[in-house]
Structures are given as C-alpha cells and as structure tokens.
Amino acid sequence: MIRLDQVSYTYTNSISPVIKNITLTVEAGEKLVVLGKNGSGKSTLARLMNASLVPDAGNLTVNGLNSRQAENRRIIRQQVSLLGAMPDHGFVSNIVEEDIAFGPENLGLSPSDIRKRVDTALNLVSMEDYAAYPPYLLSGGQKQRIALAGMLAMQPAGMIIDESLDMLSRQGRTEIINLLLEINRKQATTLVLITQNLEDIWWADRVAILERGELKLLSTPRQLLSQLQLIEEMGLELLQITRIIQNINQTAGTAIPTDITDLNTLVEILCPLL
Ligand SMILES: Nc1ncnc2c1ncn2[C@@H]1O[C@H](COP(=O)(O)OP(=O)(O)OP(=O)(O)O)[C@@H](O)[C@H]1O
Ligand SMILES: [Mg+2]
C-alpha cells in the first residue's frame, strides 16, 4: 500500500538528511511498528507516508499514487491518516462531536452518515459521554481518545499513530491497541504505530528500527526481542520479563530465550530446571 523507494528527506534548515535512502513497502492490511530514539526520524517518516512532506530524493507511492504529484497528495492524505503526538494542535472545534464531524464533513457525506460515523467513533473510544464537551477541558488521555475518534470517523485505509497513545495508562493503551487490531482484522486497515515502548510491539507483523534516519533493522517482534544488545544500543527499555530472563540466565548460567513475552511460557521452562 505504502511504498518507499530510496526515499531521502532534508528539512530546509537541517544540515544533513533526516531520512536517508529508505526503501520499504508497507503491505495493505499489514501491522508495522516503527521504533527509534528521539530524533531518529520517525515523525518525519510518518509525515512522508501521508504526503504531508514530499521526498527530495526517491519516490513514495500510496496505492500507486506518487506523492510528488501535487494533485495526488489530498487523496493520499485521505487514504493514510496520521495521528500525531500532540492532539491539542489538531482540534478544530470547541465541541467534541463537532470536532469529530469535521473530517467526515469534508468527505462530503450526508448529515445522517456523518452522525452515524461520529457516534460510532465516540463509542469505539468509550467517550460517548463527552460528545458535548469542549476538548480543552479533557485530560491528556481523553484528548488522545478524541483525536483517535476523529481519525476513525474518516475510515481511512491506512492509519499512522505517532506516539499518540503515550498519555494513556498501560491499560488504556492496551485497550486502544486492541481496538485498532480489531479494526485491522475486520476492515483490513493498514496500521503503522510509532512508539518507543517495547510493550506495544507484540502484535506487529514487522518492526522497523530507525537510526539517524536510516532503516537499521526490519524484523518480527520476536526476532527483535532476541537481540538484547541492539535494544540496549537503541536506548530502548527492555520488557520486565526480558530483564527477569536476563537475570536468571546470568545468575544460573541458563540460556533461556529472551524472546519470551508471556509469563506462563517462562514458568513452563523454569519448572523442570528447579
Ligand atoms: N520542522 C523541522 N525543521 C527542521 N528540522 C526538523 C523539523 N522536524 C524535525 N526536525 C529534525 O529532524 C530530525 C528527526 O526528527 P523527527 O521528529 O522525525 O524524529 P523522531 O524520531 O520523531 O523523534 P521523537 O522520538 O523525539 O519524536 C531531528 O534531528 C529534528 O531535529
Ligand atoms: Mg516524533
């Protein structure tokens, strides 16, 4: 669906390229996680993927539409929605439901279809009680839910979530990720999640790691979790269970695989050793 062919990007005021020669295809219906340290280029990559930015070398196409052509950009932005980290900048109305209706209105839908989309989206993010609220009175996590509802109401074929779940509690994040996965399953939506939290990667088909604008690694979540050194080099925090396994291996001289993510599996491995 989203195809990058040797894409590079330099901001007008940056000294060196921020995205360097990235070739990557995100398939329709795929679930991709993008990881990387602060400043590694994740948000820039996201903006390129929805044609908010245009590569200065290489090509980026969405369903065959090249973002170089100005007339394609609006269509690309409708097909690939980007939810940024700071929803405050995104609110266009002082009433939550009007804010969510804004996108569907621009799609030229009928008032009753717009109503349905707004209600469904509010339900999906469990915010139906806040339909008449001003967004600025909401908590950070609630704002993120409303921003997400605005995206869901557009029913885009692709969704890029750029660190927009950070204000949510762990339970809230899991809830939203499960919701996104359900939409992905039912509607074959393409999902790109940008995060620095290894807890959020278990469901992904693939994980891409960016380092200083380069695509450093493309792997599955399990492959990544078996490369502890790389994770530490990336400055990412290990999962709690990985740290436990690491401690056991170091103190007991065992070689328990570090890609285990659930406690039951670990217990099954440990019991015969005791
Ligand atoms: N509008 C801009 N103008 C100039 N330079 C920018 C702009 N936005 C980002 N940069 C620079 O581009 C590089 C990559 O930034 P980007 O925001 O893509 O990284 P990121 O991986 O999303 O970081 P973070 O984890 O902090 O969100 C950084 O060095 C940053 O300073
Ligand atoms: Mg960013």
d(CA 151, CA 97): 13
Ligand 1 pocket mutation, candidates 13, 14, 45, 211, criterion most atoms within 8 A of CB: 14
Total count of domains within the chain: 2
Tell me the CA–centroid distance for residue 17 and ligand 1, in Å. Answer: 11
> Per residue in 100-138, pLDDT tens?
999 899 888 999 999 999 999 999 999 999 999 999 999
> Per residue in 241-266, pLDDT tens?
888 998 999 998 999 998 888 889 99
Ligand located closest to 211 CA: 1
Is 11 a member of any domain? yes
Q: Which residues pair with 198 in a beta bridge?
A: none
- Asked if residue 232 has pLDDT above 90, the reply is no
Nearest CA to ligand 1 atom 31: 39
- Asked if residue 226 has pLDDT above 90, the reply is no
- When pLDDT is cut at 50, 70 and 90, the band that residue 207 belongs to is very high
Nearest CA to ligand 1 atom 28: 39
Q: Are residues 248 and 214 in the same domain?
A: no
Ligand located closest to 196 CA: 1
List the shell of residues around ion ligand 2, using CB closer than 5 Å: 42-43
Instruction: Determine the structural domain holding residue 251 and report its residue range.
Output: 239-274
Output the CA–CA distances (angstroms, integers) from residue 247 to 160, 204, 211, in the order listed: 36, 27, 28
Tell me the CA–centroid distance for residue 213 and ligand 1, in Å. Answer: 10
Q: Are residues 233 and 245 in the same domain?
A: no
Name the DSSP letter for residue 171. H
Among the residue ranges 60-74, 143-157, 165-179, the one predicted with the least confidence is 165-179
Nearest CA to ligand 1 atom 27: 38
Instruction: Tell me which residues have their CB closer than 6 angstroms to ligand 1.
Output: 11, 13-14, 18, 36, 38-44
CATH code (residue 171): 3.40.50.300
Q: Are strands 19-26 and 2-9 parallel, antiparallel or unpaired?
A: antiparallel
Give the tokens for residue 159.
Answer: 């969704």
pLDDT on residue 82 = 93
> Per residue in 47-68, pLDDT tens?
999 999 999 999 999 999 999 9
Q: Can you tell me which atom of ligand 1 is nearest the CA of 13?
A: 4
Nearest CA to ligand 1 atom 13: 39
- The answer for residues whose C-beta is within 8 angstroms of residue 72's C-beta and 6 or more apart is 51, 62, 65, 66
d(CA 83, CA 157): 14
Tell me the CA–centroid distance for residue 160 and ligand 2, in Å. Answer: 12
Q: Are residues 264 and 174 in the same domain?
A: no
Is 222 a member of any domain? yes
Which of left, alpha, beta for 3 (phi over 0: left; psi -120 to 50: alpha)? Answer: beta
Q: Are residues 166 and 77 in the same domain?
A: yes
Q: Are residues 172 and 231 in the same domain?
A: yes
Report the predicted TM-score, pTM, of the whole model to 2 decimal places.
0.90
Ligand 1 pocket mutation, candidates 43, 45, 54, criterion most atoms within 8 A of CB: 43
Q: Are residues 66 and 163 in the same domain?
A: yes
Tell me the CA–centroid distance for residue 263 and ligand 2, in Å. Answer: 32
Is 127 a member of any domain? no
Nearest CA to ligand 1 atom 18: 41
pLDDT on residue 86 = 67
Is 121 a member of any domain? no
